Amino acid sequence: MKIDHIAMLARLELTNEEKEIFSKQLSSIIEYIDKLNELDTTSIDPTAHVLPIKNIFRDDKLKPSLPKDKALQNAPGRTDDFYRVPKIIE
């Protein structure tokens, strides 16, 4: 494992002692991952999450809204029936 390359990607400056420590730690992590790859997972469906998750949305219902004049009454600036905002794109 090339610890110098990983340190450069992470923008870290490591001492030689730190490089040796992290190299051993990363090697043991990769060995563990390789051990997990030995498991037979052919009968297991791929999942994105361990728990079944589904979104629960309420049905859209048409409701009356504020009249335009009432909605715009506290607007700091308005043009006709619209809010006036500062120009941000030239």
Model pLDDT for residues 1-10, shown as the tens digit of each residue: 589 999 999 9
pLDDT at 1: 56
DSSP 11: T
Q: What type of residue sits at position 41?
A: T
Q: What's the token pair of residue 84? A: 């006036």
Q: Is residue 60 part of a domain?
A: no
Q: Is residue 54 part of a domain?
A: no
Q: What is this structure's pTM?
A: 0.44
* Total domains, the chain: 1
Cα 18 from Cα 24, distance rounded (Å): 10
DSSP 42: T
Cα 79 from Cα 69, distance rounded (Å): 12
Owning domain of residue 29: 3-37
Q: Span 47-75, mean pLDDT?
A: 87
pLDDT at 55: 84
Q: What is the band of 50 on the pLDDT scale with cuts at 50, 70, 90?
A: confident
Whether residue 81 contacts residue 68, with contact meaning beta carbons closer than 8 Å, is answered with yes
